[in-house]
Structure 1
Amino acid sequence: MDLSNKKYYINRELSWLEFNDRVLEEAQDKKNPLIERLKFLAITSSNLDEFFMVRVSTLVSQIEAGRGLPDPSGLSPLEQLKKISIRVHDMVSKQYSCLYRSILPSLEKEEIYFLSYNDLSPKQEEFTRRYFNSTIFPILTPMAIDNSRPFPLLNNKALVYLIELESENDDEENLHAVMQVPTVIPRIIELPKTEESKREFIFLEDIIKNFISELFEGHKVLKSALFRITRSSDFEIDEEDAPDLINEIEKYIKQRKWGKPVRLEIEKDMSKSSVSFLKKELDVQEEDLYRIKGFLDSTVWFQFEGFKGFEHLKNSTLRPNPITDFMDKDIFETIREKDILLHHPYDSFSCVIDFLREAALDPQVLAIKQTLYRVSGNSPVVNALMEAAENGKQVTVVVELKARFDEENNINWARKLEQAGCHVVYGLTGLKTHCKALLVVRKEEDRIRRYVHLSTGNYNDSTAKLYTDIGYFTCKETFGKDISALFNVLTGYSKITGWNKIYVAPAGLRKMIIEEIEREEENALAGRPAQIIAKMNSLVDEEIIKALYKASEAGVKINLIVRGICCLRSGVPELSENIKVVSIVDRFLEHSRIYYFENDQNPRIFLASADWMPRNFDRRVEIAFPIEEKDLKEEIINMLDITLSDTDKLRIQKADGLYERVDKRGKEHINSQLVFYERSRKKYLDFLKDTTYGGE
């Protein structure tokens, strides 16, 4: 078969939108608690913001630059934009239908109300007037638009009022002004109670609208309506010619704030004259316009999640469980005894932080080396590295400054690390350092020993509670040598011709995966057992997809657990009949990358930092590392089996690229994430029972 045939590939942007529809499904699912449904609405909107800022803006740039080559599915950038517009307009319509027809009425049954200004009691009106005068009014800045004051540069994603005012002269056009809704105070405001059982809220912009005329004394306000701009973040950083990479990235961050508008959201009842005015000033087309009936910017529901008293409307908290292997034991001694696998967030990430803290304080530790891609705002990981440097350890940190939307945070941490005495390196020119590696060099009685931690996810203590990832501790010399060599590549001029255990992109990771797929193909053709299971965030790479199609044709059974984008089309007769693609969207974001190859009943299993995308293979430093111990291999195989047996949150891709939930009839109810949590919890509780931790 012609494996380049465009009908065998799904467009990556439309596949991503299909993923975001699965997120929206969680908001629509009445089995989920109400506050969780609101959170999924917020996630859907946050995802769309980034999609427009990055992916849509990239397509716009390609068209403007005349680089409009079709993608593997045969769609040109212009065709993609047209399909995206249709799909997103439909998605936004479903979002607001879900909010107003389902979630808000259900909240009202719980006596939680969102009021408009006209619904307020006299007591509440007095409250809002006082709040406006004392807090809101001093912050507001109305900006007139006329010949001497052009349309201002407005912040990306800010809520802004467009105000139309009556002209002083009858023969002149109406006046216009804009005013940003403040972001320095909460947007959702709780009102004084009218009844003890009720909780009532109002939106900040509704209060502002009621008092808006007070900001334009002497003028008659004719109309006012909200709008929101999403700006392009598609800027290139010239690393080759940049004399100072940090300064170049700081310029990029500033540019991003004022990028070209790629989406304009407006209140549905905005007047035609105001719409025309905005379209002209912002240079947006009708297909870039989104008329919203309701609250603009659904990411506001993240704020509502933080209000107290709604615990009964949320999922029960699943607190990460301590790692029993490390309890009441020396952490280095434990790793010497055996390799350890961690499954976050079910297993606590705190053991990684403890490992770093112990290394920072241990007089026998000589050096620490670590890669950082995304870290939290108050990172205990970075604090431990700084403490280690202050204690005289040699600390080397490879900080990826180009981690999109985390650049500013990473620059701040890089400077603090340098001030603490760490050696800070920014990786290789033209490549993002996306691998997750930590190396501790320790002087022991008999030798210098290297302790290694590798992971499928970032060294971020915040996301480690929200993302599913797998971590791995070892002190095997083969791994130690490889990770030492990797850091030499990242910080110096080393060129490695071969590795003991790991595989590295862009030097050969794609080649290794294709060879493993082809081995399964050969085994299937020879009548030997052949199977592939791969778990990842996205599958886009055309070479990998072609190799999977060939393996499927040969009879290899292939299960792909792909959370987000999947450009491979499963279930196509005579091509991908042996391929099953599934996706799980649940309370934790599925983030781990696992590659399983049957290898004639001698499975080869790899954990990795890389998805199967061109950027991971060609433009990033990534690593895949093998899991070889029998018990750990069995543990990972069990993880994959449980994931594939999910009947609650698993969706299956159909040949048309759409997804459907599992037919649950006659099947046991299995929520894989809850199964993983209960297994981790049981291990911890059993440990307590068997030790003095359990008390009497």
Structure 2
Amino acid sequence: MILDQPEHFNNRELSWLKFNERVLEEVRDTRNPLMERLKFLAIFSSNLDEFFMVRVGGLKDDVLAGFNKPENKQQMTPKQQLKAISAKTKELVASEYEAFKEVRIALEQEGIRFLQPRQLNPDQLSYVSSFFREKVFPVLTPVAIDAYRPFPMLSSKSLNIATIVEAEDGARRHLALVQVPSVLPRFVDLPVDDEETTSVILLEDVISLFIDALFKGFRVVSSMPFRITRNADLPFHEEGTHDLLKLIEKELKKRRWGVAIRLEVQENTVNEELLSMLRDVLDLQERDIFTVDGPIDLTFAFSFYSQIGVEYDHLIYQSIISFDPPDLDQTKNLFNEILKKDHLLHHPYQSFDPVVRLIAQASNDPSVLAIKQTLYRVSGDSPIIKALKTAAENGKQVTVLVELKARFDEEKNIEWAKQLEKAGAHVIYGYSDLKTHSKITLIVRMNEGRIQRFVHLGTGNYNDSTAKLYTDIGLLTAKEEIAEDATNFFNWLSGYGEQPDWNVIHTSPNSMLTRFLALIDEEIKFHKKNGDGRIVAKMNSLTEKEIMLKLYEASRAGVKIDLIVRGVCCLRSGIKDVSENIRVISIIDRYLEHSRVFYFHHGGDELIYCSSADWMTRNMRKRIEILFPITDESHKAYLKNCLALMLADNVKAREQLEDGTYRYVEKGKRTCESQIAIQHYTNGRLRMVPSFDDPLDKKWTSVASTEHLISKNGNSGK
């Protein structure tokens, strides 16, 4: 049977839209606290922005370049994909604004109101008038459009108001634009009589209310808020470039001014004359125009959540306090503890603080000779950057690979690179044609005349902020074979030479894909011999065709395969004689499922790996990634139980059907919300977990104490 058939795969872009649809389901899930539902709305909107700027932008580039061959797994041309994306996205955006109405009505019942200008009482109208005059008007700059002043180049994602004004005698009409200043808050907190209530008005509504003040001697006939999204898929032409940093700085300046790919307008303000003008000047088709029934750009809900939402405790998730494992708490010398044994960290259930403290401790330890680290995305006020700068200033050999091509973090990473260099660190940028996406730190220490090496390997970024929101796995070890691999890895990145032969790790773009394919092949062989083949793989996305075809082969051989894929999944499960032994679930919950964990039964000699890489083409072929083994038996047992809890999830898990669509997993007598269950398991309050062999079975089994991971009293806070 030919497995490589278009009908055996999901289109990458349409699969991503299905993922974002699952995010939107969280907005409508009334089990979520109300402010969290609003936050999911902002996540959906932000996701869609990036999708258009990168994926749709790339497809538009293909069309403009004349590429019209079906090159993806579903054999769709760029034009066909754009048409399908437009239809599905318009359906999703309509649902998005229906969901916003539901949330807004529910917020009103809680005393939180988004007001229109006509709803303002006299006191509020007076307040808004003063606010506009004193704080908004001085910032605004109306831009006339005529023969002498052509349509301006508006930056991507900026919110603007298009207006038609006419002279007082009504003889002539003119077009003008007013940009809603991004330097001001998107919403204005209004005075209220009742301290238990909150009322706000959006900034664009305030400007529209008093927009006449900008056009003295003219009357505003019509005003229409709109927003442009531009192509932000930067084409780095690196061949012959001697300074990658300067090249990226140059390309970043172009991002805000790329070709327009989407226009959003507000339904109740649409003026056909203004809309026609925008469509023509931006060279957009009808499918590129989105008329929304509500405020444009719902990402403002992020700031609303952080500034107002947190004041309503009953409308947000209860905080989960991450904890340090007892052996890695603040009273311990981390080097001594890592020398004793490996330590597994599971964020955000466990704190990211031990990783930060390890680097901070190394920066001030006289015995530490060198620190080497890869940085892909870090937080805005990164304590890790501060520690690395301190280490360099203290005379230690600090080598940092800063990935300048981390999309939408390029500017921040350029600034970090400059600061580190100024402090005396040796900053490298990796290979020009590959992104370095690996998460690894190596600390070299001299103790009593002997060299000691300490390594941290992770599935997520060195970002203390996202470590509170993303689930990730980290390993702290002083094992010699891993330390040697880490040393060779950094030498490979910073110097010349072929990829080394590794002891225990595997890397892309070479050995990792080969290793995964071999592991699946071995599982097929073991299954044919013993009948117990099993693969469980957790990742963000799955697009690599060679791996999918090999999984189909394993499924046909009878290997039981469970895939936990949060986002894009081009593999189709449940197809007769192709993938009927493959189950695919996606979990969308309060934390973003980011960890990559791979389990192979391997004839009873169970293997578990963690990685910085998904099973994606870009991770396998276009990035430098690391796959590392988990060898401690207690750590393997812990990860198996966590995987079992995820596979048993019937609250936030959706299961992929044969046609590529998703539905919620059917509930049984026992409900399992895996993130809550894993939190309880990690802090010692859950002593029963599903059977790993059959996680959907009603029978759960008792588990050994997780004392190797938790504090003695088993309490992490509520």
- Is structure 2 residue 281 aligned with structure 1 residue 278? no
**Could you say which residue in structure 1 is the equivalent of 2:79?**
78
Contact 2:228 2:260 in 1 (8 A): yes
Residue 554 (structure 2) aligned to one of 542, 546, 551:
551
**Could you say which residue in structure 2 is the equivalent of 1:208?**
207
Q: CA deviation at 1:495?
A: 1.9
**Could you say which residue in structure 1 is the equivalent of 2:700?**
none
Of 23-32 and 265-274, the range deviating more from structure 2: 265-274
**Could you say which residue in structure 2 is the equivalent of 1:382?**
385
- Equivalent residues in 2 for 1:297-308 (5 A)? 297-306=297-306, 307=308, 308=310
**Could you say which residue in structure 1 is the equivalent of 2:634?**
631
**Could you say which residue in structure 2 is the equivalent of 1:509?**
512
Q: Distance in 2 between the 1:633 and 1:119 partners?
A: 59
**Could you say which residue in structure 1 is the equivalent of 2:100?**
99
Of 638-647 and 574-583, the range deviating more from structure 2: 638-647
* Matched-pair identity in %: 47
Q: Is the partner of 2:658 in helix, strand or coil?
A: coil
Provide Cα deviations, 1:81-117, integer angstroms capped at 9, x if missing partner. Answer: 00100100000000101111x1111111111111111
Contact 2:168 2:219 in 1 (8 A): no
Q: Distance in 1 between the 2:196 and 2:345 partners?
A: 45
**Could you say which residue in structure 2 is the equivalent of 1:332?**
335
Q: Distance in 2 between the 1:428 and 1:686 partners?
A: 40
Contact 1:124 1:192 in 2 (8 A): yes
- Equivalent residues in 2 for 1:281-360 (5 A)? 281-306=281-306, 307=308, 308-327=310-329, 328-360=331-363
Q: CA deviation at 1:688?
A: 5.0
Letter in 1 for 2:342: D
Q: CA deviation at 1:194?
A: 2.9
- Equivalent residues in 2 for 1:14-93 (5 A)? 14-70=14-70, 71-93=72-94
Uncovered stretches (5+) of structure 2, i.e. residues with no partner: 685-705
**Could you say which residue in structure 1 is the equivalent of 2:691?**
none
Provide Cα deviations, 1:256-284, integer angstroms capped at 9, x if missing partner. Answer: 01000110001113111111011011111
Q: Distance in 2 between the 1:126 and 1:171 partners?
A: 33
Contact 2:527 2:603 in 1 (8 A): no
Contact 1:368 1:395 in 2 (8 A): yes
Q: CA deviation at 1:324?
A: 1.3
Contact 1:373 1:434 in 2 (8 A): yes
Contact 2:682 2:710 in 1 (8 A): no
Q: CA deviation at 1:198?
A: 2.4
Q: Distance in 2 between the 1:195 and 1:169 partners?
A: 46
Give the superposed CA RMSD: 1.7
Residues 686 and 220 of structure 1: is their aligned pair in 2 closer, same or farther, counting only changes over 3 Å?
closer
Q: Distance in 2 between the 1:430 and 1:658 partners?
A: 35
Provide Cα deviations, 1:280-301, integer angstroms capped at 9, x if missing partner. Answer: 1111110000001111001010
Uncovered stretches (5+) of structure 1, i.e. residues with no partner: none
Q: Distance in 2 between the 1:544 and 1:160 partners?
A: 46
Q: Distance in 1 between the 2:343 and 2:619 partners?
A: 26
Residue 482 (structure 1) aligned to one of 473, 482, 485:
485
**Could you say which residue in structure 2 is the equivalent of 1:673?**
675
Of 67-76 and 545-554, the range deviating more from structure 2: 67-76
**Could you say which residue in structure 2 is the equivalent of 1:454?**
457
**Could you say which residue in structure 2 is the equivalent of 1:183?**
182
Provide Cα deviations, 1:664-693, integer angstroms capped at 9, x if missing partner. Answer: 132x121111122223334689735499x9
Q: CA deviation at 1:240?
A: 2.0
Provide Cα deviations, 1:8-45, integer angstroms capped at 9, x if missing partner. Answer: 01000000000000000000111111100000000000
**Could you say which residue in structure 1 is the equivalent of 2:11?**
11
Contact 1:52 1:230 in 2 (8 A): yes
Contact 2:610 2:627 in 1 (8 A): yes
Q: Is the partner of 1:322 in helix, strand or coil?
A: coil
Provide Cα deviations, 1:223-264, integer angstroms capped at 9, x if missing partner. Answer: 001000000012311222223211110111111010001100
Of 304-313 and 363-372, the range deviating more from structure 2: 304-313
Letter in 1 for 2:9: Y
Q: CA deviation at 1:78?
A: 0.6
Provide Cα deviations, 1:335-388, integer angstroms capped at 9, x if missing partner. Answer: 011001000011000000000011011111100000000001110011000101
Aligned residues: 690
Q: CA deviation at 1:595?
A: 1.0
Q: Distance in 2 between the 1:676 and 1:297 partners?
A: 34
Contact 2:530 2:603 in 1 (8 A): no
**Could you say which residue in structure 1 is the equivalent of 2:615?**
612
Contact 2:683 2:711 in 1 (8 A): no
Residue 585 (structure 1) aligned to one of 571, 578, 588:
588
Provide Cα deviations, 1:409-459, integer angstroms capped at 9, x if missing partner. Answer: 000000000000000000012010000000000111252011000000000
Q: CA deviation at 1:183?
A: 1.0
**Could you say which residue in structure 2 is the equivalent of 1:197?**
196
Q: Distance in 2 between the 1:168 and 1:191 partners?
A: 33
Q: Distance in 1 between the 2:242 and 2:337 partners?
A: 46
**Could you say which residue in structure 1 is the equivalent of 2:397?**
394
**Could you say which residue in structure 2 is the equivalent of 1:124?**
124
Q: CA deviation at 1:46?
A: 0.1
Q: CA deviation at 1:310?
A: 1.4
**Could you say which residue in structure 1 is the equivalent of 2:703?**
none
Contact 1:321 1:680 in 2 (8 A): no
Q: CA deviation at 1:170?
A: 6.8
Q: Distance in 1 between the 2:56 and 2:69 partners?
A: 15
**Could you say which residue in structure 2 is the equivalent of 1:149?**
149
**Could you say which residue in structure 2 is the equivalent of 1:264?**
263
